[in-house]
Amino acid sequence: MSDDEMVEVTRSLEKYYKNYTIYMRSPDGKGYFLYKQKGVPIEAVRIKEKRHPDKLYITLQDKIKEVTAFQRKYNAQLRKEIKSNPAAAKEILWKTMELSLAEPRTQILQNIKETIDIVVAEYLETPAVAANLLEVSAKDYSAAIHSVNVMLFCLGLGQYSQFSAEDIKLLGLMGLLHDVGKIKVPDEILKADRDLTVRETKILRRHTEHGYRIIKDGQLDLRVALSALEHHERSDGSGYPDGKLGNEILPQSAMIGIIDAFEQKTSCRPGRTPLKPIEALTAIREEVGAGKFDPEIFKTFARSIVGLH
């Protein structure tokens, strides 16, 4: 088995020790050995006292099966809660995105489409659902929470722009997955509580290209991959990774770019005071004036969020 086919599970071993076949690395580091068969439990004390090899693994196939089972469970819960219990529904959305963004493989990305279907179906019937979900705030800010918020603003913008249900779903999916490439950026850069060095900034910016590749390898609409690639491009060519100009950027990528900026300015993140929606819009309007964002898209977005706050 190659490294690509194995997933390390040492940190949450309790979850895996019973129902999964677990592997360890061979001493020469070139392959994997069986550590224990599926169905054979490891004594709890061994886990507690870390009496096992430093790193243990399950197959990627098992991991995908596990994540898929959770996604199904969460989607069923979401269907139940989304109408009447926004707090529970948002919690479920966070959990499912946390799980999915941590292992963004084809099958798992494909399953997220079902999550979007559930949210959009409810949203089209009861638009207040998006506002209710946005009102629920989180204690700890995370990538999953950011992606869910961006998705919710996408639904508002799609609806306000009179997109078809299919196009609203597409935009919502782009919102959920725009930062999926961050899985390839080391945590110490993502969570750095200081200014990044030039080298670190370069690595962080690569999340756009990673995201493009991850999504492109799956079976989703190519535009979802493009929006992951282009959401940091700016109309005047000052964005990254390619310095594309306004007319070269997919309109949906430009929408995600504005929403991403808005969400970052208005969300509660450690060490930063969130701006009020109107303050965030004013700040972004300045960037529109400087040629960074498309004025028409900005106008539509600004109007679309009036109904949400």
Nearest CB to Fe ion, comparing residues 179 and 233: 179
CB 211 → Fe ion: shortest distance, Å?
8
CB 207 → Fe ion: shortest distance, Å?
6
Task: Give the residue nearest to Fe ion (CB).
Answer: 179
Q: Please tell me the count of residues contacting Fe ion according to CB under 5 A.
A: 1
> Cα torsion at 80, 81, 84, 88 (round to 10°)?
170
Nearest CB to Fe ion, comparing residues 179 and 230: 179
**Span of 32-40, 66-74, 141-149, 177-185 interacting with Fe ion by CB under 5 A:** 177-185
Q: Determine if 179 is a binding residue for Fe ion (CB under 5 A).
A: yes
Q: Determine if 230 is a binding residue for Fe ion (CB under 5 A).
A: no
Q: Determine if 233 is a binding residue for Fe ion (CB under 5 A).
A: no
CA 7 to chain centre: 20
Contact at 8 Å (CB) between 116 and 176?
Answer: yes
CB 178 → Fe ion: shortest distance, Å?
6
CB 261 → Fe ion: shortest distance, Å?
10
φ, ψ (nearest 5 deg) of residue 12: -125, 45
Nearest CB to Fe ion, comparing residues 122 and 263: 263
Nearest CB to Fe ion, comparing residues 212 and 298: 212
Nearest CB to Fe ion, comparing residues 22 and 256: 256
Nearest CB to Fe ion, comparing residues 127 and 251: 251
**Span of 25-33, 139-147, 173-181, 234-242 interacting with Fe ion by CB under 5 A:** 173-181
Contact at 8 Å (CB) between 120 and 133?
Answer: no
φ, ψ (nearest 5 deg) of residue 235: -50, -35
CB 185 → Fe ion: shortest distance, Å?
10
**Span of 121-129, 138-146, 175-183, 265-273 interacting with Fe ion by CB under 5 A:** 175-183
**Span of 20-28, 79-87, 95-103, 176-184 interacting with Fe ion by CB under 5 A:** 176-184
Interaction site with Fe ion (CB under 5 A): 179
